[in-house]
């Protein structure tokens, strides 16, 4: 990407969300659906940001050095996230330096996502709360090399606040990673359930209405003092 085109993309991404902005992004090589909401973000050296129908990316994220950021239909990325990769992995890894947020998935706010080895958030899954870190690249002390491995958050899974997820880790579908937990790479497939601790271990099965929902998020609010649940509170 030329320096001029890169600077133009940065300037356009700083504009408020609007249909004309979506058209300008399409003209500059970003496939953005007319119904997507693309708020003001600082974007530097990103080859493609793809926004599906009714997807949303909130304001003031720092997005840099990516090959691809794909936010599928009805998916959402919140605000004040740092979404980045090291440029060497964008150059050397054919499938690296990417973040894919599948249909109806949600990344909330104030997370740090190192996408060097790629991150996939499955359909209806959520990286929830705040202050979680996904670190896909690190130094291999045995080999004295830097390497990156993909991270996968399975469909309809839930990541609590303040978690750390390391390169090569996979959270199974319909699972929960408890707040403050550390998920590491596993030598064998993990079973669905509640994963918690440092390193995280399976603490048992999980269930609930959230895992069968049909919307990206939930607008229902429970009031402990009265036991009342209010629908469509947001």
Question: Which backbone phi and psi does 122 adopt, to 5 degrees?
Answer: -70, 170
Q: Determine the pLDDT at residue 233.
A: 75
**Rounded to whole angstroms, what are the CA distances from 42 to 1, 39, 115, 135?**
17, 10, 17, 21
Structure-block tokens of residue 7: 């600077």
pLDDT at 231 (0 to 100): 86
**Within the chain, which residues score under 70 in pLDDT?**
1-2
What pLDDT was estimated at residue 86? 95
On the 0-12 / 13-18 / 19+ scale of CB atoms within 10 A, 107 is buried
Residue burial 139-165, b: 16+ Cβ < 10 Å; e: rest: eeeeeeeebbbbbbbbbbbbbbbebbb
pLDDT digits (tens, 9 = 90+) for 68-127: 999 999 999 999 999 999 999 999 999 999 999 999 999 999 999 999 999 999 999 999
Residue 98 backbone dihedrals phi, psi, to 5 degrees = -140, 150
- Cα-to-chain-centroid distance, residue 188: 24
Chain mean position to CA 110: 11
Closest C-alpha to 124, from 107, 136, 143, 140: 107
Distance, first Cα to last Cα, the chain:
41
Residue 42 tokens read as: 């600082």
pTM of the predicted model, to two decimals? 0.94
Phi first, then psi, for residue 97 (nearest 5°) are 55, 45
Q: What is the pLDDT of residue 1?
A: 59
């Amino acid at each position: 990407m030329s320096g001029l085109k890169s600077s133009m993309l940065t300037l356009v991404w700083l504009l408020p969300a609007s249909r004309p902005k979506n058209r300008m992004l399409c003209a500059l090589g970003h496939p953005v659906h007319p119904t997507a909401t693309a708020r003001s973000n600082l974007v530097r050296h990103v080859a493609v940001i793809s926004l599906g129908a009714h997807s949303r990316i909130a304001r003031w994220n720092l997005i840099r050095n990516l090959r691809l950021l794909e936010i599928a239909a009805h998916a959402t990325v919140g605000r004040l996230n740092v979404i980045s990769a090291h440029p060497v992995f964008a150059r050397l890894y054919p499938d690296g330096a990417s973040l894919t947020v599948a249909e109806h998935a949600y990344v909330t706010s104030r997370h740090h996502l190192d996408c060097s080895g790629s991150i996939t958030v499955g359909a209806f899954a959520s990286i929830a709360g705040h202050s979680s870190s996904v670190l896909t690249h690190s130094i291999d002390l045995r080999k004295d090399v830097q390497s990156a491995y993909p991270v996968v958050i399975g469909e309809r899974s839930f990541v609590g606040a303040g978690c750390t997820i390391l390169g090569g880790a996979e959270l199974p579908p319909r699972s929960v990673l408890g707040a403050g937990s550390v998920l590491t790479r596993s030598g064998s497939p993990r079973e669905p359930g509640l994963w918690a601790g440092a390193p995280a271990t399976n603490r048992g099965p999980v269930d609930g209405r959230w895992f069968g929902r049909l919307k990206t998020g939930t607008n229902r609010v429970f009031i402990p003092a009265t036991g009342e649940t209010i629908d469509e509170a947001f």
